[in-house]
Structure 1
Amino acid sequence: MSYSIIGFGAVGQALARAFARQNIEVAVASRRAPDALLPEAQAIGPKVTPKTLQDAVQADTLILAVPFWEHRNVAEALPDWHGKTLIDATNAFGVPVEELGGLPSSAVIARAFTGARFVKGFNHLPAHVLAANPKVGGGRRVVFLSSDDEGAAAPVAHLAERLGFAPVWLGALREGGSLVQARGREWAPLIFKDLVRPE
């Protein structure tokens, strides 16, 4: 199984640290050229490899960590996303509700990635918390997962566990997933909730 993080800002780098902590190889890509990402990637760990977007999207599982509307540029990198699992770690805070056509923000993104298995996850924690060791006080930090494809969530939950987190399933995007999605200028109730599940 191969992994890529698309977006190398605060959240993308926090996720890269989670992979590096567990010695799991991960590619990273952004609008910047791979050479421009290299100093930050090397500072995180030797298993973090900068690539072009076109190369990074060849991975089996991709974590989307870009500003909300940039997902459209990423979606254009492949004509068809069958065989890929896409984890949406974005937030649509500040995006006018009317621009989403009444859909949850993740449903809007899912439509752009035709054929991908789509899971919302790793988006509810601030970057500095996401970057920290998820083993806290005898437990593991919770990450919430939601999807309209429950089967797609199982391998993502396994990845979360490999990274040291405690995955919690919320259900479909419109239902449980709405608990971790911004709406206009309002944060959903589970955003920023730093919860720890006892071992």
Structure 2
Amino acid sequence: MPASGENKVIDIILNRRSVREFNDRPISKEEINKILNAGRWAPSGLNNQPWRFIVIRDPETILKLSECTHYSIIIEGAPLLIAAFLDTENSYNRTKDVQAIGASIQNMLLACCDLGLGAVWLGEILKQNEKVNSILHCPPELDLMAVLAIGEPAPGKRTSSRKPLSELVFNEKYGQKWEE
């Protein structure tokens, strides 16, 4: 994976990894605002910005949320959680809005990487969305999309692999292989 320094955004994309273990350094308000601003600048259809975020730092709330997922140890170990929601009252097309929230989440993950922070996108917690919404006192129009666990990464090597483009991309028509 190249880290040329010539293409900072591409380098961040290629070097970002899901981080599931954190040290206990608190995340500053300035860092949180940078992450949230990256999220709100994602593209959305008609610029409707259908996302809403809840910033969670209280250890008691984090503990309650950890009980909503099989990945409780990840949530318990994170000094910061950001819950991402679809505001259904400001939605104009659910598919496009969910895609926009995905872009928003990716922007926040990339911002974390750029800030030297680690993060992981947790989706399994969606199975307990009503419990999460209750813990966070969410109004019914907020539909949980994901929870991000964020913190300074604990030491350790993180690796990942990807399928080659030739397995994922086709030239002009399905079945015509793309050559890298």
TM-score for the superposition, normalised by structure 1:
0.27
TM-score for the superposition, normalised by structure 2:
0.29
Q: Which has the larger radius of gyration?
A: 2
